[in-house]
Structure 1
Amino acid sequence: MSAKQNRFKQSKKPRRGDVMPRLQWGRMLNRLLLVLVVMGFVYGVERLGHQLESIPVERVVFAGDLLHVSRDVLVERVTRHLAVGYIGLDLEAIQVELEEEAWVYRAEVERLWPRQLKITIVEESPIAIWGEGGLLNHRGKIFEPTGAQDERTDLPVLEGPEGSAIEIMRQYRLMSQLLGDQQLKLVRLQMSPRGSWTAILSGGTELVMGRQEPLEKLRRFLWVYQRTLVADFDRVKRVDTRYVNGLAVAWREQQADSNG
């Protein structure tokens, strides 16, 4: 091979100084394209987010048996949260808002695609009237709806100092079971601020049990009731069980004969 041919072949090889600028420009172009793609993606996501946020809630569906809760009141509470649009809804805030209503025990809030809001309402199930204006649910929680006693006259009345609801409810259940075995019905149970127990039966008879061991005193009363009081119990006004080895009975005064 001649020297001229060797020079020709050598001239065809790219020089290092020529390759490096082309590689650098290629890398810069790739980076620029990547930045443009990312910016376009972010812009698209933001546009989509704005469009979704602007979707209004077209319908609010209520589920559950609404016996005491006003649907109009629930709608008013929910409407306060709808201005943010379907996607922006704060479901937890709506739930808290609804559960502030006295008769609402639990509210479950969920989105239904594309533009609906479903709200399931579970109402309170009171087991007793509490004091003069409240109701007591199955968990010992006191709630105070308007006109509670007017609507629930069939419920027993429980009463006691603050923080005593659960204990009074427990004692009521135990006492009701003992009395029910003898066909007696407990309609009112009260704990005084000093912890003294008093019960009222369906016929109006008052049982005074004091502070110590009310269930044991109730059992003592039932033992005497079965043996000596059952026949004339409608005449018994008050039974005091606070004595160590017995009890005291107060009788109702005999009503004068209307013809006498």
Structure 2
Amino acid sequence: MTDTLPTDSLPSDIRWMQLAAPVLALLAVLLLVTAGGRWLAQRPWWDWRQIRIEGDVERNSLATLRANALPHLQGNFLTLNLAQARKAFEAVPWVRHAQVQRVWPGLMRVKLEEHRAVALWDGRGDWGEPAPERALLNSHGEVFHANLGDVEDENLPVFAGPNGSAPQVQRLWMRLQGSSQRLGERVTRLELSGRGSWRLAWASGAVVELGRGSEDDLVQRYERFLPHALAVAQRFHTSVAGADLRHVEGYALRLTGIGVNPNPNPKAITRKP
């Protein structure tokens, strides 16, 4: 007959050793597995064999992507952080969005979406005082920075406004531009001041003060003004030099080559829309 001592009669240090032994064994196994996994992940079998670039590559050549993005890619097929790789490609000029995928065995597939510049952006929004560094605005209303020398379209309009107002300025410009083109004009600059007042300029150089209001109010005010202003200009065989639409009962119109009398007849310079 074999006698056994109850567990609670053993010294405390012996009991702790009995409890710790399985835990220590499990930790040792985990350390071995981790070390083995690291050793396996660092084998040359997992090195990248090919990086394939798809999507928009009009603005960035493979050499540009290799020089700007590849130095920031760390890891192989198993260890690469896809989120960090995506940010490395999106940090390249003109790249708006990037998708990075692993494709077995050893292929990194990168799909790029480039910015489509639709306007120049002056973030300060002060009329006649451009921001220290002019940026660009893409088709999604997003401001981005790139080499302006890469812009092929020399007729991009100029938008200006407080930070965060770019989408609002772009939406209003699209509506005003449509109205202007129907009457042979083109809006080349649109500005929103810090106090919420709007101003635009035509390709001819004329400046039109739109004032404040909702987008629909501004568009209606502008569309009422356009045909009358151009009709007056045709009547005097000249062109519009400027206009002020901030008046409640009408607008003030200035024509090229026609001086303004210090005591003008209101009927000559104003007209109800």
Aligned counterparts of 1:203 and 1:223: Cα–Cα separation in 2: 16
1:215 aligns to 2:219 (yes or no): yes
Q: Is the 8 A contact 1:53 1:86 kept in 2?
A: no
Unaligned runs of 5+ in 2: 2-27, 123-129, 259-273
Query: What is the match of residue 160 of structure 2?
Result: 159
Go from structure 1 to structure 2 and tell me whether the alpha carbon gap of 1:83 and 1:107 turns closer, same or farther (over 3 Å shift).
closer
Q: Which residue of 2 aligns with 1:237?
A: 241
Alignment of 1:29-44 (within 5 A): none
TM-score normalised by structure 2 residue count: 0.69
Q: Aligned partners of 1:48, 1:159: CA distance in 2, in Å?
A: 55
1:115 corresponds, among 97, 102, 106, to 106
| Correspondence for 1:206 | 207
Aligned AA (1:75): R
Change (3 A) 1:79 1:228: closer
Contact 1:156 1:186 in 2 (8 A): yes
Aligned length: 219
Match of 2:79 among 64, 79, 88: 88
SS in 2 for 1:217: helix
User: Conserved in 2, the CA contact under 8 Å of 1:81 and 1:90?
Assistant: no
Q: CA deviation at 1:64?
A: 2.3
**C-alpha spacing 1:47/1:136, structure 2 compared with 1 (3 Å):** same
Tell me the secondary structure at the aligned position of residue 67 of structure 1.
coil
Cα shift at 1:94 = 0.4
Residue of structure 2 equivalent to 1:31: none
Mark the CA change 1:242 to 1:86 in structure 2 (over 3 Å): closer, same or farther: same
Unaligned segments of structure 1, at least 5 residues? 1-16, 18-38, 255-260
Structure exhibiting the larger radius of gyration computed from Cα positions: 1
The Cα of 1:164 is off from its aligned counterpart by 1.1
Aligned: 1:224 with 2:255: no
- Aligned-residue offset at 1:116: 1.8
Corresponding position of 2:7: none
Q: Do 2:229 and 2:253's aligned partners in 1 also have CA atoms closer than 8 Å?
A: no
- Deviations 1:21-74 (Å, cap 9, x if unpaired)? xxxxxxxxxxxxxxxxxx99x978975774354221122121223222243332
| TM-score of the superposed pair, with normalisation by structure 1 | 0.72
How far apart are the structure 1 equivalents of 2:252 and 2:73? 65
- Give the superposition deviation at 1:82: 4.8
Task: Tell me the CA shift for residue 104 of structure 1.
Answer: 0.5
Q: Give the deviation of 1:252 after TM superposition.
A: 2.0
2:252 is the alignment partner of 1:248: yes
* C-alpha spacing 1:230/1:172, structure 2 compared with 1 (3 Å): farther
Contact kept, 8 Å, 1:57 with 1:116, in 2: the verdict is yes
SS at match of 1:179: helix
Mapped contact 1:130–1:142 kept (Cα < 8 A): yes
In 2, the alpha carbon distance for the partners of 1:88 and 1:231 equals 74
Residue among 24, 40, 51 paired with 2:40: 51
Give the distance between the partners of 2:234 and 2:151, measured in 1 at CA. Answer: 33
Superposed, which structure 2 residues align to 1:64-75 within 5 Å? 64-75=55-66
Q: Give the alignment of 1:56-205 within 5 angstroms.
A: 56-131=47-122, 132=130, 133-147=134-148, 151-205=152-206
Considering fraction of residues, name the structure with more helix: 1
* Counterpart position of 1:6: none
Deviations 1:120-154 (CA, angstroms, capped at 9, x unpaired): 11110122111251111122110011225854322
- Whether contact under 8 Å (1:134, 1:148) holds in the other structure is no
Q: Deviations over 1:82-121 (max 9, x none)?
A: 5522211111110011112231011111122212211111
> Is contact 2:242-2:254 (8 Å) kept?
yes
